[in-house]
Structure 1
Amino acid sequence: MQHLILLSLCLLLAASAQAQKPHPCKSPPLMVGRISVTYPKEALFAYERFTYDALGQRVRVRAEGLYQNRSFHDDLLMLFREEVMYEISYRNHSCKKRALKAPFQPIQIPRDAELQAQVIVGSSSGPGQGLLVNNWIGEVPETEGKYFMTFTEFGCLPITSLYYTDKTGWILTSFFDLVIGIEDPQEFFPPEFCATSAAVEEGDVVTDFFQALLRRDDDQ
Protein backbone atom coordinates (compact mmCIF):
# COMPACT_ATOMS: atom_id res chain seq x y z
CA MET A 1 0.00 0.00 0.00
CA GLN A 2 2.82 2.36 0.88
CA HIS A 3 4.45 1.63 -2.49
CA LEU A 4 1.18 2.49 -4.28
CA ILE A 5 0.88 5.77 -2.38
CA LEU A 6 4.50 6.59 -3.19
CA LEU A 7 3.96 5.73 -6.86
CA SER A 8 0.82 7.89 -6.95
CA LEU A 9 2.73 10.82 -5.48
CA CYS A 10 5.47 10.39 -8.08
CA LEU A 11 2.92 10.34 -10.89
CA LEU A 12 1.22 13.46 -9.51
CA LEU A 13 4.56 15.26 -9.25
CA ALA A 14 5.45 14.23 -12.81
CA ALA A 15 2.09 15.47 -14.11
CA SER A 16 2.49 18.72 -12.18
CA ALA A 17 5.99 19.25 -13.56
CA GLN A 18 4.73 18.64 -17.09
CA ALA A 19 1.85 21.08 -16.63
CA GLN A 20 4.20 23.74 -15.27
CA LYS A 21 6.76 23.46 -18.06
CA PRO A 22 8.11 27.00 -18.55
CA HIS A 23 7.00 28.98 -21.58
CA PRO A 24 8.54 32.20 -22.92
CA CYS A 25 7.42 34.86 -20.46
CA LYS A 26 6.97 38.60 -20.74
CA SER A 27 9.55 40.76 -18.98
CA PRO A 28 8.70 44.03 -17.18
CA PRO A 29 8.45 46.88 -19.73
CA LEU A 30 10.08 49.40 -17.36
CA MET A 31 13.42 48.65 -15.73
CA VAL A 32 16.53 50.25 -14.31
CA GLY A 33 19.71 48.32 -13.70
CA ARG A 34 23.29 47.61 -14.62
CA ILE A 35 24.85 45.40 -17.25
CA SER A 36 28.29 44.29 -18.31
CA VAL A 37 29.05 43.64 -21.97
CA THR A 38 31.99 41.55 -23.16
CA TYR A 39 32.75 41.61 -26.89
CA PRO A 40 36.08 39.77 -27.39
CA LYS A 41 36.30 40.11 -31.16
CA GLU A 42 36.37 43.92 -30.90
CA ALA A 43 38.34 43.95 -27.62
CA LEU A 44 35.42 45.71 -25.94
CA PHE A 45 34.38 45.52 -22.30
CA ALA A 46 31.69 47.89 -21.02
CA TYR A 47 30.03 48.40 -17.65
CA GLU A 48 26.76 50.26 -17.96
CA ARG A 49 23.86 51.71 -16.05
CA PHE A 50 20.70 51.61 -18.12
CA THR A 51 17.14 52.89 -17.97
CA TYR A 52 14.73 50.94 -20.15
CA ASP A 53 11.24 51.82 -21.39
CA ALA A 54 9.74 49.22 -23.75
CA LEU A 55 6.40 51.06 -23.89
CA GLY A 56 7.94 54.24 -25.27
CA GLN A 57 10.84 52.40 -26.96
CA ARG A 58 13.46 54.48 -25.16
CA VAL A 59 16.82 53.51 -23.65
CA ARG A 60 19.34 55.61 -21.71
CA VAL A 61 22.80 54.15 -21.21
CA ARG A 62 25.74 55.50 -19.24
CA ALA A 63 28.71 53.32 -20.09
CA GLU A 64 32.36 53.13 -19.24
CA GLY A 65 34.90 50.54 -20.20
CA LEU A 66 37.77 49.57 -22.46
CA TYR A 67 37.84 49.47 -26.24
CA GLN A 68 41.06 48.13 -27.75
CA ASN A 69 42.93 48.99 -24.53
CA ARG A 70 41.62 52.57 -24.45
CA SER A 71 39.17 53.69 -21.78
CA PHE A 72 35.93 55.42 -22.75
CA HIS A 73 32.86 57.01 -21.20
CA ASP A 74 29.56 57.30 -23.05
CA ASP A 75 26.17 58.78 -22.22
CA LEU A 76 23.68 57.68 -24.87
CA LEU A 77 19.98 58.47 -25.17
CA MET A 78 18.31 56.28 -27.79
CA LEU A 79 14.79 57.27 -28.90
CA PHE A 80 13.74 54.55 -31.32
CA ARG A 81 10.32 55.92 -32.26
CA GLU A 82 11.82 59.33 -33.05
CA GLU A 83 14.76 57.57 -34.80
CA VAL A 84 17.23 59.79 -32.97
CA MET A 85 20.22 59.09 -30.74
CA TYR A 86 21.98 61.69 -28.59
CA GLU A 87 25.60 61.39 -27.48
CA ILE A 88 25.73 63.57 -24.38
CA SER A 89 28.77 65.08 -22.68
CA TYR A 90 28.07 66.95 -19.42
CA ARG A 91 31.78 67.63 -19.09
CA ASN A 92 31.87 69.66 -22.32
CA HIS A 93 28.20 70.67 -22.23
CA SER A 94 27.94 69.29 -25.74
CA CYS A 95 25.56 66.98 -27.53
CA LYS A 96 25.78 65.10 -30.82
CA LYS A 97 22.65 64.05 -32.62
CA ARG A 98 22.60 61.04 -34.92
CA ALA A 99 19.96 59.24 -36.94
CA LEU A 100 18.93 55.94 -35.34
CA LYS A 101 17.57 53.45 -37.86
CA ALA A 102 17.81 50.27 -35.81
CA PRO A 103 14.61 48.47 -34.81
CA PHE A 104 13.84 48.51 -31.09
CA GLN A 105 14.82 45.22 -29.46
CA PRO A 106 12.85 44.57 -26.26
CA ILE A 107 14.48 42.70 -23.41
CA GLN A 108 12.46 39.52 -23.66
CA ILE A 109 12.51 35.85 -24.63
CA PRO A 110 11.70 35.33 -28.33
CA ARG A 111 8.43 33.48 -28.89
CA ASP A 112 10.15 30.72 -30.85
CA ALA A 113 12.85 30.19 -28.20
CA GLU A 114 13.38 26.62 -27.05
CA LEU A 115 13.66 25.76 -23.37
CA GLN A 116 17.01 24.12 -22.75
CA ALA A 117 16.79 23.59 -19.00
CA GLN A 118 15.42 24.91 -15.72
CA VAL A 119 18.19 25.16 -13.14
CA ILE A 120 19.05 26.73 -9.82
CA VAL A 121 21.81 29.30 -9.76
CA GLY A 122 23.57 28.83 -6.45
CA SER A 123 22.27 26.16 -4.11
CA SER A 124 18.94 24.59 -3.18
CA SER A 125 20.23 23.51 0.23
CA GLY A 126 18.57 26.35 2.12
CA PRO A 127 16.20 29.30 1.76
CA GLY A 128 17.67 32.23 -0.13
CA GLN A 129 20.71 30.28 -1.31
CA GLY A 130 19.60 29.81 -4.90
CA LEU A 131 17.70 31.40 -7.78
CA LEU A 132 15.40 29.42 -10.09
CA VAL A 133 16.10 30.32 -13.73
CA ASN A 134 15.24 29.08 -17.21
CA ASN A 135 17.78 28.70 -20.01
CA TRP A 136 16.57 29.40 -23.54
CA ILE A 137 18.24 28.82 -26.90
CA GLY A 138 17.34 29.77 -30.44
CA GLU A 139 18.44 31.17 -33.78
CA VAL A 140 18.06 34.48 -35.59
CA PRO A 141 17.63 33.67 -39.31
CA GLU A 142 18.09 37.31 -40.39
CA THR A 143 21.67 37.40 -39.08
CA GLU A 144 22.37 33.66 -39.07
CA GLY A 145 22.93 34.14 -35.36
CA LYS A 146 22.46 31.97 -32.31
CA TYR A 147 21.55 32.98 -28.77
CA PHE A 148 21.55 31.53 -25.30
CA MET A 149 19.49 33.43 -22.69
CA THR A 150 18.85 32.99 -18.99
CA PHE A 151 15.79 34.55 -17.34
CA THR A 152 14.39 34.14 -13.84
CA GLU A 153 11.40 31.83 -13.47
CA PHE A 154 9.65 34.35 -11.22
CA GLY A 155 9.45 37.88 -12.56
CA CYS A 156 10.94 36.98 -15.97
CA LEU A 157 14.02 39.11 -15.34
CA PRO A 158 17.11 38.80 -17.56
CA ILE A 159 20.27 37.30 -16.10
CA THR A 160 22.57 36.65 -19.06
CA SER A 161 22.46 36.77 -22.84
CA LEU A 162 25.03 35.09 -25.09
CA TYR A 163 24.81 35.92 -28.80
CA TYR A 164 26.90 34.64 -31.71
CA THR A 165 27.30 35.23 -35.43
CA ASP A 166 30.24 34.53 -37.70
CA LYS A 167 30.60 38.29 -38.16
CA THR A 168 30.55 39.36 -34.51
CA GLY A 169 31.77 36.30 -32.67
CA TRP A 170 30.49 35.92 -29.12
CA ILE A 171 28.86 38.81 -27.25
CA LEU A 172 28.10 38.23 -23.56
CA THR A 173 25.73 40.49 -21.63
CA SER A 174 25.12 40.07 -17.88
CA PHE A 175 22.35 41.88 -15.97
CA PHE A 176 22.31 42.74 -12.26
CA ASP A 177 20.91 45.19 -9.67
CA LEU A 178 17.61 45.32 -11.58
CA VAL A 179 14.74 47.48 -10.32
CA ILE A 180 11.29 47.27 -11.88
CA GLY A 181 9.94 50.70 -12.85
CA ILE A 182 11.52 54.02 -13.80
CA GLU A 183 13.20 55.95 -11.00
CA ASP A 184 13.64 59.21 -12.94
CA PRO A 185 11.51 59.86 -16.07
CA GLN A 186 13.81 62.80 -16.94
CA GLU A 187 16.38 60.23 -18.03
CA PHE A 188 14.57 60.09 -21.37
CA PHE A 189 14.80 63.80 -22.10
CA PRO A 190 18.02 65.32 -23.48
CA PRO A 191 19.56 68.12 -21.37
CA GLU A 192 18.88 71.73 -22.33
CA PHE A 193 22.23 72.21 -24.05
CA CYS A 194 21.20 69.53 -26.58
CA ALA A 195 18.66 71.98 -27.99
CA THR A 196 21.51 73.76 -29.78
CA SER A 197 22.84 70.56 -31.35
CA ALA A 198 23.29 70.61 -35.09
CA ALA A 199 20.78 68.73 -37.21
CA VAL A 200 21.56 65.15 -38.11
CA GLU A 201 23.94 65.04 -41.04
CA GLU A 202 22.89 63.00 -44.04
CA GLY A 203 24.56 59.60 -43.93
CA ASP A 204 25.37 59.82 -40.21
CA VAL A 205 23.27 56.82 -39.25
CA VAL A 206 23.49 54.37 -36.36
CA THR A 207 22.04 50.97 -37.15
CA ASP A 208 22.48 49.11 -33.85
CA PHE A 209 23.42 49.54 -30.21
CA PHE A 210 26.86 47.97 -30.48
CA GLN A 211 27.73 50.23 -33.39
CA ALA A 212 26.89 53.18 -31.13
CA LEU A 213 29.29 51.90 -28.47
CA LEU A 214 32.04 51.17 -30.97
CA ARG A 215 31.98 54.63 -32.55
CA ARG A 216 34.97 56.42 -31.16
CA ASP A 217 35.46 60.05 -32.12
CA ASP A 218 38.82 61.80 -31.83
CA ASP A 219 37.58 64.16 -29.12
CA GLN A 220 36.34 61.38 -26.82
Structure 2
Amino acid sequence: MRLGLFLPSRTLLCDSHRTRKMYAAVTLFVFMCLTATTHADHHHQPCHAPNMTGFMSVISLKGEMKAYGAFTYDSMGKKLRFRSNESHPSNTSLGLDLLMFFDDGVFYEIDSKNQSCEKKALQCTQHPLDIPDDATFVATVNCGSPSIEGEGLKANVWTGTMSDKKGHYSMSVTMGCLPVCTLYFQESSSFIISLTEVEIEIKDPDLLTVPTFCLGQPLEETPEGTVHSFLNEFM
Protein backbone atom coordinates (compact mmCIF):
# COMPACT_ATOMS: atom_id res chain seq x y z
CA MET A 1 0.00 0.00 0.00
CA ARG A 2 1.37 3.39 -0.94
CA LEU A 3 0.32 6.81 0.23
CA GLY A 4 1.63 9.82 -1.70
CA LEU A 5 1.51 12.96 0.43
CA PHE A 6 2.16 16.48 -0.78
CA LEU A 7 4.37 16.54 -3.89
CA PRO A 8 5.80 13.49 -5.68
CA SER A 9 9.52 12.92 -5.19
CA ARG A 10 10.29 13.26 -8.91
CA THR A 11 9.79 17.03 -8.62
CA LEU A 12 13.06 17.14 -6.70
CA LEU A 13 14.86 16.53 -9.96
CA CYS A 14 14.02 20.07 -11.11
CA ASP A 15 16.57 22.89 -11.20
CA SER A 16 17.36 24.88 -8.07
CA HIS A 17 14.86 27.65 -8.85
CA ARG A 18 11.96 25.24 -9.24
CA THR A 19 13.13 23.31 -6.17
CA ARG A 20 12.97 26.44 -4.01
CA LYS A 21 9.48 27.14 -5.34
CA MET A 22 8.43 23.59 -4.49
CA TYR A 23 9.58 23.86 -0.88
CA ALA A 24 7.84 27.22 -0.54
CA ALA A 25 4.67 25.60 -1.86
CA VAL A 26 4.95 22.73 0.63
CA THR A 27 5.27 25.16 3.54
CA LEU A 28 2.34 27.23 2.28
CA PHE A 29 0.22 24.08 1.86
CA VAL A 30 0.86 23.04 5.45
CA PHE A 31 -0.13 26.42 6.85
CA MET A 32 -3.28 26.36 4.72
CA CYS A 33 -4.15 22.95 6.18
CA LEU A 34 -3.59 24.12 9.73
CA THR A 35 -5.94 27.06 9.18
CA ALA A 36 -8.61 25.00 7.41
CA THR A 37 -12.04 24.27 8.84
CA THR A 38 -11.61 22.23 12.02
CA HIS A 39 -13.72 20.08 14.27
CA ALA A 40 -12.47 19.81 17.82
CA ASP A 41 -12.88 16.59 19.77
CA HIS A 42 -11.01 16.26 23.04
CA HIS A 43 -11.57 12.51 23.46
CA HIS A 44 -8.75 11.50 21.12
CA GLN A 45 -5.82 9.47 22.39
CA PRO A 46 -2.41 9.53 20.69
CA CYS A 47 -2.09 6.71 18.15
CA HIS A 48 1.11 5.03 17.02
CA ALA A 49 2.29 4.90 13.43
CA PRO A 50 2.80 1.53 11.68
CA ASN A 51 5.99 0.31 10.04
CA MET A 52 6.89 2.64 7.20
CA THR A 53 9.22 3.17 4.27
CA GLY A 54 9.27 6.42 2.34
CA PHE A 55 10.97 9.76 1.82
CA MET A 56 11.47 12.56 4.29
CA SER A 57 12.21 16.23 3.71
CA VAL A 58 13.38 18.72 6.32
CA ILE A 59 12.88 22.37 5.40
CA SER A 60 13.51 25.49 7.46
CA LEU A 61 10.70 28.00 7.65
CA LYS A 62 13.02 30.35 5.78
CA GLY A 63 12.80 28.03 2.78
CA GLU A 64 16.20 26.32 3.16
CA MET A 65 16.28 22.60 2.46
CA LYS A 66 18.05 21.02 5.39
CA ALA A 67 17.78 17.38 4.28
CA TYR A 68 15.95 15.07 1.93
CA GLY A 69 16.26 11.31 1.80
CA ALA A 70 14.84 7.83 2.31
CA PHE A 71 13.73 6.51 5.67
CA THR A 72 12.78 3.13 7.11
CA TYR A 73 10.89 2.96 10.40
CA ASP A 74 10.23 -0.04 12.64
CA SER A 75 7.28 0.98 14.83
CA MET A 76 7.42 -2.01 17.20
CA GLY A 77 11.19 -2.14 17.53
CA LYS A 78 11.53 1.66 17.74
CA LYS A 79 14.23 1.79 15.07
CA LEU A 80 14.81 4.42 12.39
CA ARG A 81 17.19 4.62 9.45
CA PHE A 82 17.47 7.91 7.57
CA ARG A 83 19.77 8.45 4.61
CA SER A 84 19.77 11.93 3.13
CA ASN A 85 21.32 13.62 0.11
CA GLU A 86 21.75 10.36 -1.82
CA SER A 87 18.92 10.09 -4.35
CA HIS A 88 18.72 13.85 -4.92
CA PRO A 89 21.99 15.48 -3.72
CA SER A 90 22.00 19.20 -3.09
CA ASN A 91 24.68 21.61 -1.94
CA THR A 92 22.32 22.98 0.71
CA SER A 93 21.30 19.59 2.10
CA LEU A 94 22.98 17.72 4.92
CA GLY A 95 24.56 14.38 4.02
CA LEU A 96 23.38 12.07 6.79
CA ASP A 97 23.15 8.33 7.34
CA LEU A 98 21.62 7.73 10.75
CA LEU A 99 20.60 4.46 12.38
CA MET A 100 18.73 5.07 15.63
CA PHE A 101 17.71 2.58 18.32
CA PHE A 102 15.36 4.58 20.53
CA ASP A 103 14.72 1.87 23.13
CA ASP A 104 18.45 1.19 23.52
CA GLY A 105 19.35 4.88 23.70
CA VAL A 106 22.09 4.69 21.06
CA PHE A 107 22.53 5.67 17.43
CA TYR A 108 25.11 5.33 14.67
CA GLU A 109 26.36 7.94 12.24
CA ILE A 110 27.35 5.79 9.28
CA ASP A 111 29.80 6.50 6.46
CA SER A 112 29.29 3.60 4.04
CA LYS A 113 31.73 5.02 1.50
CA ASN A 114 34.62 4.92 3.96
CA GLN A 115 33.28 1.88 5.86
CA SER A 116 33.29 3.73 9.15
CA CYS A 117 30.82 4.86 11.79
CA GLU A 118 30.44 6.63 15.10
CA LYS A 119 28.35 5.20 17.95
CA LYS A 120 26.77 7.80 20.22
CA ALA A 121 24.39 7.98 23.17
CA LEU A 122 20.84 9.09 22.35
CA GLN A 123 19.66 11.43 25.09
CA CYS A 124 16.32 12.33 23.51
CA THR A 125 13.98 9.91 21.72
CA GLN A 126 11.59 12.48 20.24
CA HIS A 127 11.17 12.14 16.47
CA PRO A 128 8.58 13.05 13.79
CA LEU A 129 7.27 9.55 13.01
CA ASP A 130 5.22 8.93 16.15
CA ILE A 131 2.89 11.02 18.29
CA PRO A 132 4.34 11.54 21.79
CA ASP A 133 2.21 10.04 24.55
CA ASP A 134 1.82 13.46 26.20
CA ALA A 135 0.69 15.22 23.00
CA THR A 136 -2.49 17.30 23.11
CA PHE A 137 -5.16 16.81 20.46
CA VAL A 138 -6.14 20.10 18.79
CA ALA A 139 -8.59 19.37 16.00
CA THR A 140 -9.43 17.39 12.88
CA VAL A 141 -8.72 19.36 9.70
CA ASN A 142 -9.92 18.93 6.13
CA CYS A 143 -7.39 20.04 3.52
CA GLY A 144 -8.91 20.55 0.09
CA SER A 145 -12.50 19.43 -0.51
CA PRO A 146 -13.92 16.67 1.72
CA SER A 147 -17.01 16.41 -0.52
CA ILE A 148 -15.15 15.50 -3.73
CA GLU A 149 -13.57 12.04 -3.90
CA GLY A 150 -9.79 12.19 -4.17
CA GLU A 151 -9.68 15.96 -3.61
CA GLY A 152 -9.23 16.17 0.14
CA LEU A 153 -7.14 14.95 3.04
CA LYS A 154 -8.52 14.54 6.55
CA ALA A 155 -5.98 14.71 9.34
CA ASN A 156 -5.71 15.05 13.11
CA VAL A 157 -3.49 17.78 14.54
CA TRP A 158 -1.52 17.26 17.77
CA THR A 159 0.65 19.72 19.64
CA GLY A 160 3.07 19.66 22.53
CA THR A 161 6.35 20.95 23.88
CA MET A 162 9.74 19.70 22.77
CA SER A 163 11.77 17.62 25.17
CA ASP A 164 13.98 20.53 26.25
CA LYS A 165 10.85 22.64 26.91
CA LYS A 166 12.38 25.46 24.81
CA GLY A 167 10.11 24.92 21.84
CA HIS A 168 6.91 23.31 20.67
CA TYR A 169 5.62 21.24 17.78
CA SER A 170 2.48 20.77 15.72
CA MET A 171 2.01 17.35 14.12
CA SER A 172 -0.54 16.36 11.47
CA VAL A 173 -1.36 12.69 10.93
CA THR A 174 -3.91 10.91 8.76
CA MET A 175 -6.89 9.09 10.23
CA GLY A 176 -4.82 5.90 9.90
CA CYS A 177 -2.02 7.48 11.98
CA LEU A 178 0.41 8.08 9.11
CA PRO A 179 2.42 11.26 9.77
CA VAL A 180 1.91 13.95 7.14
CA CYS A 181 4.07 16.74 8.49
CA THR A 182 5.41 18.15 11.73
CA LEU A 183 6.36 21.75 12.45
CA TYR A 184 8.98 22.40 15.12
CA PHE A 185 9.24 25.91 16.56
CA GLN A 186 12.25 27.12 18.53
CA GLU A 187 13.82 30.53 18.99
CA SER A 188 17.02 29.40 17.31
CA SER A 189 15.64 27.11 14.61
CA SER A 190 12.19 26.33 13.22
CA PHE A 191 11.60 23.75 10.54
CA ILE A 192 9.04 21.42 9.00
CA ILE A 193 9.44 17.69 8.40
CA SER A 194 7.15 16.15 5.78
CA LEU A 195 6.81 12.63 4.38
CA THR A 196 6.16 11.50 0.81
CA GLU A 197 5.66 8.20 -1.03
CA VAL A 198 4.93 6.34 2.21
CA GLU A 199 4.48 2.56 2.13
CA ILE A 200 3.23 0.67 5.18
CA GLU A 201 6.00 -1.92 5.29
CA ILE A 202 9.69 -2.39 5.97
CA LYS A 203 10.98 -3.01 2.46
CA ASP A 204 14.60 -3.73 3.44
CA PRO A 205 15.01 -5.03 7.03
CA ASP A 206 18.81 -5.03 6.63
CA LEU A 207 18.76 -1.23 6.77
CA LEU A 208 17.76 -1.51 10.44
CA THR A 209 20.70 -3.72 11.41
CA VAL A 210 24.12 -2.41 12.42
CA PRO A 211 26.59 -2.70 9.51
CA THR A 212 29.35 -5.24 10.07
CA PHE A 213 32.03 -2.55 10.03
CA CYS A 214 30.26 -0.85 12.96
CA LEU A 215 30.06 -3.92 15.19
CA GLY A 216 32.14 -3.54 18.33
CA GLN A 217 32.37 0.20 17.91
CA PRO A 218 32.84 1.82 21.35
CA LEU A 219 30.31 4.34 22.59
CA GLU A 220 31.67 7.85 22.22
CA GLU A 221 31.70 10.13 25.23
CA THR A 222 29.08 12.87 25.01
CA PRO A 223 30.52 16.36 25.60
CA GLU A 224 28.98 18.23 28.51
CA GLY A 225 25.98 20.27 27.40
CA THR A 226 25.46 18.26 24.21
CA VAL A 227 22.12 16.56 23.56
CA HIS A 228 22.00 13.94 20.82
CA SER A 229 18.65 13.31 19.16
CA PHE A 230 17.18 12.91 15.70
CA LEU A 231 15.84 16.47 15.80
CA ASN A 232 19.13 17.95 16.99
CA GLU A 233 20.75 16.85 13.74
CA PHE A 234 18.86 19.69 12.03
CA MET A 235 19.13 22.44 14.65
> What is the TM-score when the length of structure 2 is the normalising length?
0.67
Deviation at 1:55? 2.0
Is residue 180 of structure 1 aligned with residue 203 of structure 2? no
Q: Measure, in 2, the Cα distance between the counterparts of 1:21 and 1:81.
A: 29
Deviation at 1:185? 1.6
Matches within 5 A, 1:33-48: 33-39=54-60, 45-48=66-69
What 5-or-longer segments of structure 2 have no aligned partner?
Answer: 1-38
Q: Measure, in 2, the Cα distance between the counterparts of 1:141 and 1:182.
A: 28
Is residue 99 of structure 1 aligned with residue 118 of structure 2? no
Q: Give the length in aligned residue pairs.
A: 191
Letter of the 2:211 partner, please give it: P
Q: Measure, in 2, the Cα distance between the counterparts of 1:118 and 1:109.
A: 19
Structure with greater Cα Rg: 1
Partner secondary structure for residue 203 of structure 1:
coil
Letter of the 1:51 partner, please give it: T
Which residue in 2 is equivalent to 1:50? 71
Q: Measure, in 1, the Cα distance between the counterparts of 2:133 and 2:117.
A: 35
Matches within 5 A, 1:192-211: 192-195=212-215, 197=217, 199-203=218-222, 207-211=228-232
The structure whose RCO (Cα within 8 Å, separation 6+) is larger is 2
CA RMSD of aligned residues (A): 3.2
Matches within 5 A, 1:1-220: 23-39=44-60, 45-64=66-85, 70-103=92-125, 105=127, 107-108=130-131, 110-119=133-142, 121-140=143-162, 142-153=164-175, 155-168=176-189, 170-195=190-215, 197=217, 199-203=218-222, 207-212=228-233
Deviation at 1:70? 4.8
Retained in 2: the 8 A contact 1:143–1:165? no
Deviation at 1:115? 1.9
Retained in 2: the 8 A contact 1:159–1:175? yes
Letter of the 2:130 partner, please give it: I
Q: Measure, in 2, the Cα distance between the counterparts of 1:202 and 1:110.
A: 30
> What is the TM-score when the length of structure 1 is the normalising length?
0.71
Name the % identity: 34
CA deviation string 1:7-34 (max 9, x = no partner): xxxxxxxxxxx9x877244133422221
Q: Measure, in 1, the Cα distance between the counterparts of 2:163 and 2:208.
A: 32
Partner secondary structure for residue 95 of structure 2:
strand
